[in-house]
Amino acid sequence: MASHRKSRPTGSRVAGIRTPAFATAALTSVALLSQSANAAPEADDKPSLEEVEKKVDDLYRQAGSATEKYNGAKEKTAKQRKRVDTLLDDVAQRTEKLNEAREELGTFAAAQYRTGASAPDTATFLLADTPQDYFDQTQLMDRMTGRQKVAVDDYITQQSETMEKRQEAAESLETLTESQGDLKTAKATVQRKLADARELLSKLTAEEKARLAAIEKEKQQEAARKAAELARQQAEQQKEQEQEAAQQQGSGSSSAGSGSSSSSTVPDSSYATKADKALAFARAQIGKPYVWGATGPGSYDCSGITQAAWKAAGVTLPRTTYDQVNAGTTVPLADAQPGDLVFFYDDVTHVGIYIGNGMMIHAPKPGTYVREESIYYDGESSIHSVVRPA
């Protein structure tokens, strides 16, 4: 007998309630939305714009640090290579003289063979492990002729000096190899840090890049404000010093200790003349690109332009920031004068040349150009010290 029971509609039950097919689809959508909501924290893993900016700045600083290590290794490698070349030339010349001395002794040996003379066996001497071994094993020195003695003495001297120079050359070659390894490591580090920074920036949207530019503009405005404040303080200090000098001159006082404590940091006219030349050179480089490891004339890194600027003034500065910071007299920031070098960060990995009014000329970082900028461009805390080149 056929059943008259109606077929059960398709669908599913929720909490004991029968749901039609379209309701099942709705529930599926809700489930998907719930999954999306649960996945939302993964989207939040994307770093904020401020975090990206900080990371990029850190990478550029690390690249700057590696650049200075590269500069130092490059300079050391060049000096060491020159030293090795000099030593190898010296060894070659000494080897030639040693061979000449050996040939002269060989002449005596040949003469002995031809004549059967009873003079000391020069051939035996030449075959000994060392000349001294020969003398230790024989007592024939007193039987040598005057010419033989001179020849033997010359041979011993040439051999000893040649061996010393060969050892020195071998040690220098080892040092050169180490320097080349340091150079290669520093270069790889710079390239890696810059690549990481470019990758982070490439992931920013156009809107994020615009916001980043706005943040940078705000930082520049604050840096300019701080520079103007320093310029005002320096102007007031200069005015006070001039008034004190006028008072001392009027009273006829010549006491060396009567001036202000900062007067000892005021440079003499010869420094100002050199500084003017250094600044004139630096200003002429404005607009040229920053290139790490570059010393001009078409591009510079930070220590490259300060070195070149002071070279134009007749003053030789070391290549790296680490050495430049010790190449003069440290002065208070408030007493900074045009031409002074301003160093940045605890690891002293950046430098600019002060032009007055809280401003400097520097080569900032990859992707930028030599430019005038506030010494507070990265905040007051980033300033390490001010040095007046000797």
Instruction: Provide the annotated active-site residues.
Output: 302, 350, 362
- To the nearest 10 degrees (0 to 180), the angle between helices 49-115 and 206-251 is 80
CB 375 within 8 A of CB 383: yes
CB 327 within 8 A of CB 318: yes
DSSP helix/strand/coil, 356: strand
Give the chain's length: 390
- Cα–Cα distance between 68 and 296 in angstroms, integer? 16
- Cα–Cα distance between 294 and 85 in angstroms, integer? 25
Structure tokens given for 66: 């590696």
Nearest Cα to 328, choosing from 349, 345, 353, 291?
A: 353
Distances (CA, A) of 347 to 73, 245, 332, 388: 17, 39, 19, 19
- Cα–Cα distance between 276 and 378 in angstroms, integer? 26
